[in-house]
Amino acid sequence: MDKPLTATLNIEQPLDLDQYRNKGGYQGFARALDLTPEEVQQQVKEANLRGRGGAGFPTGMKWGFVPMGEDSPGRKYLVCNADEMEPGTFKDRWLMEGAPHLLVEGMMIAAYAISASVAYLFLRGEYRLCATRLEKAIREAEQAGLLGENIQGSGYSLNLHLHTSAGRYICGEETALLNALEGKRAHPRAKPPFPQVVGLFGQPTVVNNAETLCNIPGILRQGPAWYQDLGRGEDAGTKIYGISGRVKNPGLWELPMGAPAKEIFDLAGGMQHGLKLRGWLPGGASTDFLLPEHLDTPMEYDAIAEAGSRLGTGGIIALDDKHCPVGMVLNLIRFFAQESCGWCTPCRDGLPWASEILNRIESGRGSQEDLDELQRLCDFMWMGKTFCALAPGAVEPMSSAMKYFADDFQQHIDKGCCPYRH
Amino acid sequence: MKIAIRTFSYQDHLNEAEIQAIEKACADYEQRPAAAIEALQIVQKQRGWVDDPCLQAVAELLGMSDAELEGIATFYNHIYRRPVGRHVLHLCNSISCWLSDVDELADHLRGRLQVEFGQTSADGGITLLPNVCLGCCDKAPAMMLDGELIENLSKEKLDQILSKLHQGGENG
Ligand SMILES: Cc1cc2nc3c(=O)[nH]c(=O)nc-3n(C[C@H](O)[C@H](O)[C@H](O)COP(=O)(O)O)c2cc1C
Ligand code: SF4
Ligand code: FES
């Protein structure tokens, strides 16, 4: 099986420019330069690549909203979203540490496809090794004339800058990210206008996830048909799936899109000795719980949605039978409450409130009314009532836990203590 | 009422290397305030934290108001607006580390350093802070020590690291 995302990945010592080129690196970019930007967009559309940042938005379609042609704004931006702060998610870090040139090439092709003259790589500050390795890859590309003015005599010019952030989850939301890049407080922006039309510094801008961009070189080099065939089910290509929690061998694997969750659990060797699986989040902290009975579900956007959750980042978090589901939700909600940007009331007030109630229940001081209140809060912070998707994302694990682990919540109240505390 | 007339110049508070590094960051953007977060990190790198005069100096250099820059500085988890110890230890408290019983390590650290999260040990050696998921979830529990990610933590491993820091502190 082809593994285009990890074929050139080396976590100990990533390939330098020459080594990467010897393995076919920058051929995708060379091929792109032979096409018009619109033709590159068309290739990515045909490949049916969907964004790996969590929402699964079709990448080609996203690019298609950018004004093109003679009359379009002279300055456009491509931004790589490498803020990766969703708990339970560590895939972009692996790609950037192990295959920095793959991402740089992906960014170059994407920038060319929308005729952007400047690209930013927005990296979370804690990923220092990524920063060092990406910085080196960018310098090598510059020195080889792959970045800068009139690249390879094509007439196309591109400058690529690394921006290291300083730790705040909301910066990963694409419009908040644009505010952060402008040196403003990173709260989200109203949409419309969409960033593709009015984005960074008011100019047309595309924001793509780092893993999404790593898919682009392969599509250009080997074609949309090849890419489509990589997927096992509805969705095209491969995906970096991960798993953490009390499994035997937590880690990351590149698998065809649509591989069943069970395959990932098997690769991880199943649960640790003496533990049973209670539930799992399919793609990071902001996705709904699923149960062991859902393990055969293909890890692709529509199938996971039908099962009642979201594929999200594809980073599975496994809950075992020795850890308290209420405690797990409390941990998650505390994260979201802390990271709320405070811009809109349901989220700013609702999350600390939910966190307080959960803390009460978890420590055995909760009441029946607390459960009702928690349920109301799920509704209060749901989609359409908040300014961005952070609060609804927080609701997903909470409301699904209250559904699937209702007995556990009830026991905390009836017994006046956490049944899991030893 | 006395009105203070501000005679403030960023050159009095930032050194030449810092100013140059900040100017270099500014060149990457259409507008100077966009370099704010990088500028704060540059200043913090040299000094450990960002004090008021430095914050004002950076604001002046970037053409922003102090309040605007303060709003950014305090927005981020890794810009320190208070003094920190010689070493800063961020222990991850997010979900995969929680499932790996990081709470026990947190208790252990609090006991050994005799501090709560947010405080610096009495000898000024170590500031203990929490951190959201560090992207080390498959090698949980994890922490960031002086910017370096350290994975697969245990009490024994923590003790070793702390002893080493302590020795380093005494010798240097
Ligand atoms: C609170 C919040 C945090 C997010 N964090 C990230 C992130 O760290 N990385 C990322 O790629 N997308 C993140 N997203 C999704 C982005 O808004 C955006 O959808 C994504 O970068 C688009 O890239 P894609 O089309 O390639 O998937 C986040 C969204 C929200 C609401
Ligand atoms: S939902 Fe939360 S994070 Fe999003 S804008 Fe509102 S307060 Fe900010
Ligand atoms: S949860 Fe601790 S590193 Fe991800």
pLDDT tens digits along B32-68: 999 999 999 999 998 999 999 999 999 999 999 999 9
- Contact residues, A window 311-340, toward B, CB-based 8 Å cutoff: 315, 317-320, 323, 327-328, 331-332, 335, 338-339
* Mean pLDDT computed over A59-66: 98
Question: Quick one: which ligand is closest to B133's CA?
Answer: 3
User: Which A-chain residues 336-365 have CB contacts (< 8 A) with chain B?
Assistant: 338-339
Residue B1: predicted pLDDT: 61
CA of A87 vs chain B CAs: smallest distance (Å): 5
Using CA coordinates, name the residue in chain B closest to A165. Answer: B37
B115: contact with A, CB 8 A cutoff: no
State whether A242 and B137 contact (CB < 8 Å).
yes
Is residue A4 over pLDDT 50? yes
In the prediction, which pLDDT does A166 show? 96
The whole-number pLDDT of residue A74 equals 86
Q: pLDDT band at residue A1, thresholds of 50, 70 and 90?
A: confident
Q: Given pLDDT bands bounded at 50, 70 and 90, which one contains residue B30?
A: very high
The nearest alpha carbon in chain A to B40 belongs to A166
B96-123 pLDDT tens trace: 999 999 999 999 999 999 999 999 999 9
- pTM exceeds 0.90 for this model: yes
pLDDT digits (tens, 9 = 90+) for A6-30: 999 999 999 999 999 999 999 999 9
pLDDT at residue A376 in the model? 97
Residue B171 has pLDDT above 50, yes or no: no
User: Is there a contact between B134 and A126 if contact means CB atoms under 8 Å apart?
Assistant: yes
pLDDT tens digits, one per residue of A200-219: 999 999 999 999 999 999 99
Is 90 exceeded by the pLDDT of residue B8? no
Q: Is the pLDDT of residue B2 over 80?
A: no
B4 pLDDT tier (thresholds 50, 70, 90): low
State the ipTM, two decimals: 0.96
Domains parsed from chain A with CATH numbers: 17-230 (3.40.50.11540), 238-320 (3.10.20.600), 325-421 (1.20.1440.230)
Contact call for residues A37 and A68 (beta carbons, < 8 A): yes
**Residue-level pLDDT at B172:** 38
Residues of B in contact with A87 (CB under 8 A): 94-96, 132-133, 137
Distance from the B3 Cα atom to the nearest Cα atom in chain A, whole angstroms: 30
**Predicted local confidence at residue A158, as pLDDT:** 98
Distance A340 CA to ligand 2 centre (A): 6
Q: Tell which of B75, B80, B88, B144 to mutate to test the A interface (max A CBs under 10 Å).
A: B75
User: What SS3 string covers chain A?
Assistant: CCCCCCCCCCCCCCCCHHHHHHCCCCHHHHHHHHCCHHHHHHHHHHHCCECCCCCCCEHHHHHHCCCCCCCCCCCCEEEEEECCCCCCCCHHHHHHHHCHHHHHHHHHHHHHHCCCCEEEEEECCCCHHHHHHHHHHHHHHHHCCCCECCHHHCCCCEEEEEEECCCCHHHHCHHHHHHHHCCCCCCCCCCCCCCCCCCHHHCCEEEEEHHHHHCHHHHHHHCHHHHHHHCCCCCCCEEEEEEEECECCCEEEEEECCCEHHHHHHHCCCECCCCCEEEEECCCCCCCCECHHHCCCECCHHHHHHCCCCCCCCEEEEEECCCCHHHHHHHHHHHHHHHCCCCCHHHHHHHHHHHHHHHHHHCCCCCHHHHHHHHHHHHHCCCCCCCCCHHHHHHHHHHHHHHHCHHHHHHHHHHCCCCCCC
From chain A, the residues in CB contact with B30 under 8 A are 75, 201
pLDDT at A48 over 70: yes
pLDDT at A152 over 80: yes
State chain A's mean pLDDT as an integer: 97
Residue type, position B45, single letter: K
A72 in contact with B at a CB cutoff of 8 Å?
Answer: no
Q: Where residue B139 falls among pLDDT bands split at 50, 70, 90? A: very high
Instruction: Answer whether B134 contacts ligand 3 (Cβ < 6 A).
Output: yes
Cβ–ligand 3 distance for B153 under 6 Å, the answer no
**pLDDT in the model for residue B6:** 63
Q: What is the mean pLDDT of residues A114-141?
A: 98
